[in-house]
Amino acid sequence: TALPPMAATRTTCPYCGVGCGVLARPDGAGGLAPVQGDPDHPANRGRLCGKGRSLADTLGGAGRLTRARLHGRPVALDAALDRVAAGFAATLARKGPSGVAFYLSGQMLTEDYYAANKLAKGFLCTANVDTNSRLCMSSTVAGHVRAFGEDLVPGAYDDLDGCDLAVLVGSNAAWCHPVLFGRLMDARGSRGTRLVVIDPRRTETAAGADLHLPIRPGGDVALYQFLLVEAARRGLIAAPAAIGLADALADARADTPDLAAAADLTGLTPDSLHRFADMVLATDRTVTLFSQGVNQSGAGTDKVNAILNLDIALGRIGRPGAGPFSLTGQPNAMGGREVGGLANQLAAHLGFSDAERAMVGRFWGTDTVATGPGLKAVEMIDALEDGRIEAIWIIGTNPAVSLPDAGRFRRALARCPLVVVSDCVTGTDTQALAHILLPAAGWSEKDGTVTNSERRISRQRAVLPAPGDALPDWRLIQAVARRLGFGHAFDWRHPSEIFDEHARLSAEAARHFGRRFDIGGLAGLGRQGYDALAPVQWPVPVSRNGPQSGPRNGQLGHAGTARLTLSGDGARMVAVRHRRPDDQPDTDFPLVLNTGRLRDQWHTMTRTGRAARLAAHSPEPCLALHPADAAATGVQDGDIATVTGRRGACLLRVVIDAGQRPGEAFAPIHWSDAFAAEAAIGRIASPVTDPLSGQPELKHAAIRVERW
Ligand code: SF4
């Protein structure tokens, strides 16, 4: 007789910032049975996209890193960890704290992130701790800090259900955040929510919109300046005492004194601008969702603040069904932000002032807290190149493909005397340049928490044992910390103890510095309470006496919305000016390359590339070209083209697409040389960064296209 099916484990999808709940169970043959959406998870209510549904297909089998390697040869894990610790100790002795660095990932669980950040910033005295989240949402972080004094996302997914107008800026949500897009489509059906999409490309998201504004790349600040000017002209400023209103409005008027100026800077018609202004300004319940088209820009922070300025002026921040909402790309970009996973943060939303460093030092029991911000992702390329960094530990990411100017990064990494990579898969382009590989536990094999785009903390839970010598990242970090003599500060036995420390630190930061990121109410859960934690949205302060609404389905947590109420008067408007992207086309490089994700792939395909049904959606690296550009270039649909930028070249299959703006091409980010020869688009991507956030301008590089 058949055995009864094993009970499903509630966990969280690792593929994007929506943070969908997943029900997973072993298949009895060493893998996972096909997963299902968790109907009780507030983010997805049972829904999953194709990537989520294919999770079981992306695990196990060949290509799994299960043993440590030293110079490519298998070695005992203890011996590899000895070499990592000895190498870091020698580099610290030779170069000081600035000679070592960590490059982390928004894939890491909060507990892993916390451990890495504590080791580097608390005990190695270096803030050279950055992450691929720098490429994802750091402009939003900088914009939030300028407007709200802290990295706060005021909105929640409930706003998508209750808005009358959704404006998507630089977001192809139908492909990149499909479950949230599904919620918007539900709202469209139930309450007639209208949709405006601002995107140079006619994406699948744009194709279903009431209004698509095919904006000129870099025109977003001017578009929102125009709306602010229009709001003032129509007498609609609802927060006249908002800090910075006069200066922000003056700069908006300087950029877009009239409709003609706005049309010129945005590349949009006066009619469409008027129509857009009528819709946004007349609809109180308007949510503005922004994503990588805003963030991945040399003016990303100003774009974010231009969007926030309008909502502050209109009094829409923190109101149900309204306000700005950042869609993060990575599953735990938010959790990383909370523990200080960026080079310019300390921990718990704190910076590097003497008072903040002293408080964190007391909490961690160390007097070697990093003295100031460290190197951001793109700055690390320079530091590797000129020898300032001589030891780097890369965790759970593939920067040899994903960083801009990836060819230069590869050359710089090849010069570095000690490159450590921990990962759950083998064969990445980055690993080819590593001296030591450490086997990490992957999704479904480890326990911890992640925070999604609406500040909701959810558990990832282990369903399967980790194979071979693979360990959770925090265990690998702990092992190195012990070897370096810091075992007393890293004596955790279970991730619940790290989470507890993180929660207590957030409460201290809230008490001393008034930080709104406060999960002190989740301290003291113990292992049992942590295991039972249901999705919960921060803030959860101590005064609320722990989880907010008691047990639900036998778990602790709450499914409700914790709204951050920021009045317009309590937020700051920031004066910004339009400026065009840096890498402008010329006669040698006459086209502009935009980059982004495909529907069924994730990052550099290290996991989604293993699932045949995901690969079927778009099996080859490609370049979308407008028909006029294809004709001018002499290429046809299906041709292989050499795409050359100022920093490198790729081979891509041409796809003729009338949804492209003339003069602009598009290529997906996913392929690496491990999957297709000379396909890594990072070789072409521009290393120009936003001066405030350090986020690279991945969506604008001048190129030329030639038939191969
Ligand atoms: Fe996973 Fe994102 Fe898809 Fe949800 S929307 S199933 S989190 S990839």
Asked whether 607 and 679 are in contact (CB, 8 A), the reply is: no
* Cα(74)–Cα(449) distance, integer angstroms: 31
| Pick from 184, 197, 192: nearest CA to 158 | 184
Whether residue 406 is contained in a domain is answered as yes
Tens of pLDDT along 304-324? 999 999 999 999 998 999 999
Whether residue 176 is contained in a domain is answered as yes
* Cα(175)–Cα(304) distance, integer angstroms: 22
CATH code of the domain covering residue 452: 3.40.50.740
Q: Which atom of ligand 1 is nearest to the CA of 331?
A: 7
DSSP string covering 104-128: E-TTS-HHHHHHHHIIIIIIS----
Distance in Å, CA 179 to ligand 1 centroid = 6
Q: What is the pLDDT of residue 618?
A: 76
Same domain, 17 and 28: yes
* Cα(334)–Cα(141) distance, integer angstroms: 10
Same domain, 130 and 222: no
Asked whether 32 and 14 are in contact (CB, 8 A), the reply is: no
Burial class (CB in 10 A: 0-12, 13-18, 19+), 546: middle
Q: Which atom of ligand 1 is nearest to the CA of 12?
A: 7
Considering the chain, what is the average pLDDT of its residues? Answer: 91
Distance in Å, CA 370 to ligand 1 centroid = 36
Q: Is the CB of 168 inside a 6 Å radius of any atom of ligand 1?
A: no
Residues comprising the chain, all counted: 708
Which tokens in the block code for residue 557?
A: 């947590």
Distance in Å, CA 454 to ligand 1 centroid = 14
Q: Is the CB of 614 inside a 6 Å radius of any atom of ligand 1?
A: no
Q: What is the pLDDT of residue 331?
A: 82
Q: Is the CB of 15 inside a 6 Å radius of any atom of ligand 1?
A: yes
Could you say which of 326, 344, 374 is where a domain stops? 326
User: Mean of the pLDDT values across residues 510-534?
Assistant: 94
Same domain, 131 and 144: no
Distance in Å, CA 23 to ligand 1 centroid = 13
Q: Is the CB of 20 inside a 6 Å radius of any atom of ligand 1?
A: yes
Asked whether 697 and 686 are in contact (CB, 8 A), the reply is: yes
CATH code of the domain covering residue 197: 3.40.228.10
Pick from 51, 107, 453, 601 the residue to mutate for probing ligand 1's pocket: most ligand atoms within 8 Å of its CB. Answer: 51
pLDDT tier at 688, thresholds 50, 70, 90 = very high
Whether residue 549 is contained in a domain is answered as no
Distance in Å, CA 316 to ligand 1 centroid = 28
What does pTM read for this prediction?
Answer: 0.93
Distance in Å, CA 447 to ligand 1 centroid = 19
Tell me the residue type at 657: D
Pick from 15, 38, 607 the residue to mutate for probing ligand 1's pocket: most ligand atoms within 8 Å of its CB. Answer: 15
Q: Is the CB of 329 inside a 6 Å radius of any atom of ligand 1?
A: no
Q: Is the CB of 244 inside a 6 Å radius of any atom of ligand 1?
A: no
Distance in Å, CA 159 to ligand 1 centroid = 19
| Pick from 431, 413, 411: nearest CA to 421 | 431
* Cα(305)–Cα(290) distance, integer angstroms: 11
Same domain, 165 and 233: yes
ipTM, 2 dp: 1.00
Q: Is the CB of 495 inside a 6 Å radius of any atom of ligand 1?
A: no
Cα 219 from chain centre: 22
Same domain, 473 and 357: yes
| Pick from 432, 339, 431, 429: nearest CA to 394 | 431
| Pick from 99, 20, 80, 108: nearest CA to 423 | 108
Q: Would you say residue 649 has pLDDT above 70?
A: yes
Whether residue 449 is contained in a domain is answered as yes
Pick from 12, 22, 44 the residue to mutate for probing ligand 1's pocket: most ligand atoms within 8 Å of its CB. Answer: 44
Which tokens in the block code for residue 435?
A: 């001296």
Mode of pairing for the β-strands spanning 640-645 and 701-707: antiparallel
Q: Would you say residue 80 has pLDDT above 50?
A: yes
Distance in Å, CA 444 to ligand 1 centroid = 15
User: Mean of the pLDDT values across residues 112-141?
Assistant: 95
Tens of pLDDT along 590-641? 999 998 887 777 777 777 777 777 777 777 788 999 999 999 999 999 999 9
Could you say which of 304, 326, 348 is where a domain stops? 326
* Cα(59)–Cα(354) distance, integer angstroms: 46
Cα 427 from chain centre: 24
Distance in Å, CA 170 to ligand 1 centroid = 19
Q: What is the pLDDT of residue 675?
A: 61
Residue 545 CB neighbours (<10 A): 9
Asked whether 76 and 91 are in contact (CB, 8 A), the reply is: no
Q: Is the CB of 327 inside a 6 Å radius of any atom of ligand 1?
A: no
Q: What is the dihedral of CA 102, 103, 107, 111, to 10 degrees?
A: 20
Nearest alpha carbon, ligand 1 atom 5: 179
Helix (H, G, I), strand (E, B) or coil at 19: coil
Bond before 539 cis per omega within 30 degrees: yes
Mode of pairing for the β-strands spanning 456-460 and 418-423: unpaired
Tens of pLDDT along 345-369? 999 999 999 999 999 999 999 999 9
Whether residue 506 is contained in a domain is answered as no
Tens of pLDDT along 422-476? 999 998 889 999 999 999 999 999 999 999 999 999 999 999 999 999 999 999 9
Asked whether 292 and 171 are in contact (CB, 8 A), the reply is: yes
Q: Would you say residue 543 has pLDDT above 80?
A: no
CATH code of the domain covering residue 30: 3.30.200.210
Which tokens in the block code for residue 634?
A: 């002499």
Distance in Å, CA 47 to ligand 1 centroid = 9
* Cα(484)–Cα(123) distance, integer angstroms: 9
Residues near 8 by beta carbon (within 8 Å), at least 6 away in sequence: 23, 24, 25, 36
Query: Is the backbone of residue 196 left (phi > 0), alpha (psi -120 to 50) or beta?
Result: beta
Distance in Å, CA 12 to ligand 1 centroid = 9
Distance in Å, CA 93 to ligand 1 centroid = 44
Distance in Å, CA 184 to ligand 1 centroid = 15
| Pick from 124, 127, 68, 130: nearest CA to 91 | 124
Q: Is the CB of 18 inside a 6 Å radius of any atom of ligand 1?
A: yes
Q: Which atom of ligand 1 is nearest to the CA of 44?
A: 4
Tens of pLDDT along 179-194? 999 999 999 999 999 9
Distance in Å, CA 608 to ligand 1 centroid = 12
Q: Which atom of ligand 1 is nearest to the CA of 43?
A: 4
SS3 for 654-706, per residue?
EEECCCCCCCEEEEECCCCCCCCCCCCHHHCCCCCECCCCCCECCCCEEEEEE
Q: Would you say residue 550 has pLDDT above 50?
A: no
Asked whether 196 and 163 are in contact (CB, 8 A), the reply is: no
Maximum Cα–Cα distance for the chain, whole Å? 77
Whether residue 551 is contained in a domain is answered as no
Could you say which of 326, 346, 373 is where a domain stops? 326
* Cα(234)–Cα(220) distance, integer angstroms: 21
Residue 158 lies in domain: 138-326
Q: What is the pLDDT of residue 251?
A: 98
Q: Is the CB of 174 inside a 6 Å radius of any atom of ligand 1?
A: no
Same domain, 142 and 131: no
Same domain, 154 and 301: yes
* Cα(417)–Cα(435) distance, integer angstroms: 8
Whether residue 586 is contained in a domain is answered as no
Distance in Å, CA 57 to ligand 1 centroid = 15
Q: Which atom of ligand 1 is nearest to the CA of 52?
A: 6
Whether residue 181 is contained in a domain is answered as yes
Q: Which atom of ligand 1 is nearest to the CA of 48?
A: 6
Same domain, 114 and 145: no
For 289-328, where are the alpha helices, taking DSSP H only?
Answer: 292-295, 300-313
DSSP string covering 226-277: HHHHHHHHTT--S-TT-BTHHHHHHHHHHH-SSHHHHHHHH---HHHHHHHH
Q: Is the CB of 10 inside a 6 Å radius of any atom of ligand 1?
A: no
Strand segments, DSSP code E, in 15-169 are 21-24, 36-37, 68-70, 73-75, 100-104, 129-131, 165-169
* Cα(47)–Cα(32) distance, integer angstroms: 19
Q: Which residue has tokens 């688009």?
A: 681
Distance in Å, CA 336 to ligand 1 centroid = 18
- Indicate the number of domains in the chain: 4
Residues near 210 by beta carbon (within 8 Å), at least 6 away in sequence: 194, 195, 196, 279
Same domain, 159 and 261: yes
Q: What is the pLDDT of residue 563?
A: 61
Distance in Å, CA 677 to ligand 1 centroid = 29
- 263-283 burial: b if 16+ Cβ within 10 Å, else e: bebbbbeeebbeebbebbbeb
Nearest alpha carbon, ligand 1 atom 8: 15
What percent of the chain shows pLDDT beyond 90?
Answer: 77
What percent of the chain shows pLDDT beyond 70?
Answer: 94
Q: Count of alpha carbons within 13 Å of 105, Cβ hemisphere only?
A: 24
Mode of pairing for the β-strands spanning 418-423 and 68-70: unpaired
User: Mean of the pLDDT values across residues 16-22?
Assistant: 94
Same domain, 263 and 281: yes
Same domain, 398 and 316: no
Residues near 222 by beta carbon (within 8 Å), at least 6 away in sequence: 255, 256, 261, 262, 265, 266, 578
Q: What is the pLDDT of residue 562?
A: 63
Same domain, 165 and 299: yes
CA angle 402, 407, 413 (to 5 degrees): 85
Q: Is the CB of 16 inside a 6 Å radius of any atom of ligand 1?
A: yes
Burial class (CB in 10 A: 0-12, 13-18, 19+), 96: exposed
Which tokens in the block code for residue 500?
A: 């507890």
Q: Is the CB of 43 inside a 6 Å radius of any atom of ligand 1?
A: no
* Cα(386)–Cα(379) distance, integer angstroms: 11
